[in-house]
Structure 1
């Protein structure tokens, strides 16, 4: 099993202290967390894309390029690239450039994105968002694979023998499809034989498991080998301590502060108590053995081989946050790596067997 640390770069007051960092300090925290993730042995670091409050993650290519310059090993993910909102030509230019600068460490998770405010900002409607997402992805993948592209499009000017530069480093970049609540993203992933990443953060396990089962069915419907399926899954929170009592005591203020924010903002509340949240959500809060057992229960339903963990402290102190990540990597990750297989592809740049390519630029 592989492990990603991700951030959506939420920018709001700390749920426990009520203090809000400056924008610059929040970005600095993201960079520090990326360095920590590489230091602790995480396999990937992901940055979300949102274009509305309370997020400041509107430009993941810029953030990931900075992280690429600071790191050497860790793979760089988007979580997710909102292709329904973006011009696929411009998105390709940004990400192909980032892929070269990082030496082929880029992986994309794409999706239509959520939120009425960002849809309004880009003049995208609930009625056309899925068609935009599918069209943008078709154009994006063709640009990545073809030197010249001709495409009749609805949502951007058509292309005729278009050349888009720079030409790619990875051939092609691996694209995962983010799945939250709808079958459209699941079907798009299955149609192209691409891996799926389940959000798995808001609700209990059942709706996510149903979508993953649908993905597997559609994968075979489109004629792909079931051995090639790769599924990733998110988590709703993380705090690992030596005992369950310590974990619950430390995490309770975080949960209660977040719950108060949800109610104040008028957001739907799924889990009213910490105990229910720990029991029925995907949050990994408890002793190492409890976290291992819960990861296995989810794996039985999902068959996933990649797991993402939120890299933000989100109300924990800096010491609590680091101690939890260190304990996860020392006591939980080795067991799950042994028990659960890796995805059915190399965790490395996607490069042709020949000819030999020049060394990537160092940044």
Structure 2
């Protein structure tokens, strides 16, 4: 059971002062967060690609590379790379470079993207949303498997027996499929035999067990061994010394960020009652003291079958020192509890 973190490198206004941290400062803070995550024994750190003013990470590979030489074992992944509006050749080159700098710790989490700003920015038509992803994923996987590539498609110029360099330390470079939980995404990942990441940020996480089962059935039908497939969750949350402190510190920025997105997407108002309901044992927010968060992760592992858990923190902008403390607690107190109980539980299943 792997435990890690993800961030979108938010630069939203401070809830109390209204001040907005600069992109440069927030990016430097994230590098510090990755270094700390490595020091406290966490397994993976993900940085999500976005192209809007309130998120600073338009280039996850560069951010992760900045941390690579200051870390030793933590895996470094995008979360996600918006592959539909990217060039697969360049994506591969960026992450192969990261893989070299980190000595084999890079991963790509490929997704279609829940934000659409990158499509007009790079000249793509949203009407081609699904077709773009399928075509570019095909090319990316081909590059991962072979040094020289011959390929043709509809939305990108053809490649005729050309080499793509540098080659990564890992062979092949790991590619995960990021999904919001749609059956189509799960089936696609299963048929390809690729690991799956589920964004579990609302509702009841146990409901995703059906998606995981669908994923594994598709994999088995395609001749892949479901027992070897990995499933990750990307879930909002925060850890503090006690549950009340965790909730009180995490709520203000979360409410602000959720209501900004809510106005853009037509969601209802996000209030404290909604937040507290999601903090319940069956809810999608992993907020609390180390024992509370650990038990919720363990429950997710047993009921849904995830083999990697990524805590997304912060949601919105929070004081850097609070985020650093949450990372410390996740690594030193939550992760050991989870690993110990899951190891014991798995042994009892054999």
Q: How does the TM-score come out when normalised to structure 2?
A: 0.88
Is 2:65 the partner of 1:62?
A: no
RMSD over aligned Cα atoms: 2.4
Write out aligned runs for 1:203-218 (5 A): 203-205=203-205, 208-218=208-218
Distance 1:125 1:301, change over 3 A: farther
The equivalent residue for 2:287 is 285
Query: Matches of 2:258 and 2:169 in 1, distance apart?
Result: 44
Greater shift in the superposed pair: 93-102 or 285-294: 285-294
Greater shift in the superposed pair: 49-58 or 248-257: 248-257
1:43-62 CA distance string (max 9 Å, x none): 11111111234222111121
How far off its partner does 1:180 sit?
Answer: 0.6
Distance 1:122 1:204, change over 3 A: farther
- The answer as to whether partners of 2:178 and 2:197 remain within 8 angstroms in 1 is yes
Query: Matches of 1:170 and 1:264 in 2, distance apart?
Result: 42
Q: How many residues align?
A: 341
Greater shift in the superposed pair: 16-25 or 223-232: 16-25
How far off its partner does 1:256 sit?
Answer: 4.1
- The answer as to whether partners of 2:104 and 2:168 remain within 8 angstroms in 1 is no
The equivalent residue for 2:32 is 32
Greater shift in the superposed pair: 181-190 or 54-63: 181-190
The equivalent residue for 1:241 is 241
Query: Matches of 1:136 and 1:306 in 2, distance apart?
Result: 26
The equivalent residue for 1:194 is 194
The equivalent residue for 1:227 is 227
SS at match of 2:197: strand
Query: Matches of 1:160 and 1:263 in 2, distance apart?
Result: 46
Distance 1:315 1:127, change over 3 A: closer
The equivalent residue for 1:137 is 137
Task: Give the unaligned 5+ runs of structure 2.
Answer: 345-350
Task: Give the unaligned 5+ runs of structure 1.
Answer: 343-363
Task: Give the one of 287, 300, 303 matched to 1:301.
Answer: 303
How far off its partner does 1:284 sit?
Answer: 1.4
The equivalent residue for 1:158 is 158
1:265-294 CA distance string (max 9 Å, x none): 565248542311212542211233322222
The equivalent residue for 1:43 is 43
Q: How does the TM-score come out when normalised to structure 1?
A: 0.85
SS at match of 1:268: coil
How far off its partner does 1:31 sit?
Answer: 1.1
- The answer as to whether partners of 2:31 and 2:64 remain within 8 angstroms in 1 is no
1:63-90 CA distance string (max 9 Å, x none): 1111112222211111111111111112
Distance 1:146 1:294, change over 3 A: same
How far off its partner does 1:315 sit?
Answer: 4.9
Write out aligned runs for 1:100-139 (5 A): 100-139=100-139
SS at match of 1:13: coil
How far off its partner does 1:263 sit?
Answer: 5.2
- The answer as to whether partners of 1:201 and 1:281 remain within 8 angstroms in 2 is no
The equivalent residue for 2:85 is 85
Query: Matches of 2:111 and 2:315 in 1, distance apart?
Result: 25
How far off its partner does 1:228 sit?
Answer: 0.8
Query: Matches of 1:36 and 1:213 in 2, distance apart?
Result: 35
Distance 1:251 1:62, change over 3 A: closer
- The answer as to whether partners of 1:98 and 1:106 remain within 8 angstroms in 2 is yes
Query: Matches of 1:249 and 1:109 in 2, distance apart?
Result: 32
